[in-house]
Amino acid sequence: MAERKEISTATRALLLKMQINELTESIVYTKVAKQVADEHNSKVLLKIAAEEQRHAGIWKGYTKVEAKPKWFKTIWFPLLARVFGFTFALKLMERGEGNASEIYATFASEVPEAEKIAKDEDRHEQELLAMLDEERLQYVGSMVLGLSDALVELSGTLAGLTFAMQNTRLIALSGLITGISATLSMASSEYLSSRSEGNTNAFKSGLYTGVVYLATVAFLVLPYLLLPDTAFMLALGIMLGTVVLIILGFTYYISVAKDVPFLKRFGEMATISLSVAALSFVIGIIVKKTLGIEI
């Protein structure tokens, strides 16, 4: 075996960083593989883990350092995988390492193995894309339906009721009745729609839609339940802020797990939800003044 030539101090520092990353990710992939029930997905993850370990060994040959993994990542990403699914967690981790192939290209002249490892890293990403068969991702359409409908319908309803009633307790009561009724309606509609299309998992489609819808209802009504009766405008502001945060979180999750544009989807959902809320608030003012009803 040919003796490895000396490398620069800057390259050694960069290789040590990459060695630590590869070692850390190898441990993460191994832990997540043990969590995954599907045998095919587990085997692919273990294969990637073995490659990451091999890469770390190559870098060790240059750095001459017994590196230690980043313990926080080895705990954090497997935990994320349990809560949000392995696709989201691992893609988020891969995003964090940046474009590995471009980084390796900077020292390819000093480290011959860099080019091959760069190709391995690119293949990792493609293999992960092919593994998108998690149940929760199969029902993204149902979740989006439940979330978007709840945000648009309930935020508009609560905004209209805020000025019309001007009492947080009454608004919360009306919002809960409307939200729970709408949850049952949306879940059953999604079930019937999926069943008519021949979907054998129609019940799960309806269930995902209903659960997401109901969770959204709970978050939006909560400010009206917790604040004093007269703090209806503050409750409205918090509710609208919650709408934006829910859209932000869900859109980010989908953008990572499904590789779709983040800003475009976030802008569309936020604009529609807030526009409907603003219009409903104005309608509440008009209706109250027109009918002259005081509550």
Residues 124 and 174 in one domain: no
Residues 145 and 125 in one domain: no
What is the reported pTM?
Answer: 0.71
Residues 80 and 171 in one domain: no
Residues 125 and 140 in one domain: no
What sign for the dihedral angle of Cα 146, 148, 152, 158? positive
Is 224's pLDDT higher than 90? yes
pLDDT at 1: 42
Average pLDDT over every residue of 265-277: 79
Q: Identify the domain boundary among 129, 144, 164.
A: 129
Among the ranges given (10-14, 219-223, 289-293), the one the predictor scored with the smallest mean pLDDT: 289-293
The whole domain housing 23 covers 9-129
Dist. CA 15–CA 9, nearest whole Å: 10
What lies within 8 Å, CB to CB, of 220 at 6+ separation is: 150, 151, 154, 155, 158, 175, 179, 239, 242, 243
3 domain-assigned: no
| Tally of domains in the chain | 2
Residues 195 and 85 in one domain: no
pLDDT at 218: 92
- Name the pLDDT band for 143 (thresholds 50, 70, 90): confident
Residues 119 and 149 in one domain: no
Is 75's pLDDT higher than 60? yes
